[in-house]
């Protein structure tokens, strides 16, 4: 039985570009969070801790479409 010739896989440029965008997102997000945290009035430590927990989780939200784009080339399903 003859098999069709195997063509070598071509790596996508989207993955390295996506990794750079993720690193840029993290850097911009960190600067924004620190800037906002310094501008907040002096809060009790539980409120400030809640702010940092929320900010620490919120940067993940833009990653889903970015990761989808890295895999499929489309922003939306």
Q: Residue ranges per domain, the chain? A: 16-72
Is the model more confident about 76 or about 37? 37
pLDDT at 33: 92
Look at residue 19 and tell me whether its pLDDT is greater than 70: yes
pLDDT at 71: 86
| CA dist., res. 10 & res. 69, Å (int) | 17
Who contacts 12 (Cβ-Cβ below 8 Å, separation ≥6)?
Answer: 70, 73
Cα dihedral sign, 37-39-42-47 = negative
| CA dist., res. 55 & res. 28, Å (int) | 12
Reference 68, options 22, 2, 11, 1; nearest CA is: 22
């Amino acid at each position: 039985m003859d098999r069709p010739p195997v063509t070598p896989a071509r790596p996508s440029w989207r993955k390295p570009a996506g990794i750079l965008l993720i690193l840029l997102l993290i850097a911009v997000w960190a600067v924004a969070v620190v800037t906002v945290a310094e501008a907040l009035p002096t809060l009790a430590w539980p409120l400030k801790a809640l702010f940092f927990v929320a900010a620490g989780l919120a940067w993940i939200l833009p990653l889903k479409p970015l990761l989808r784009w890295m895999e499929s080339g489309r922003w939306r399903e």
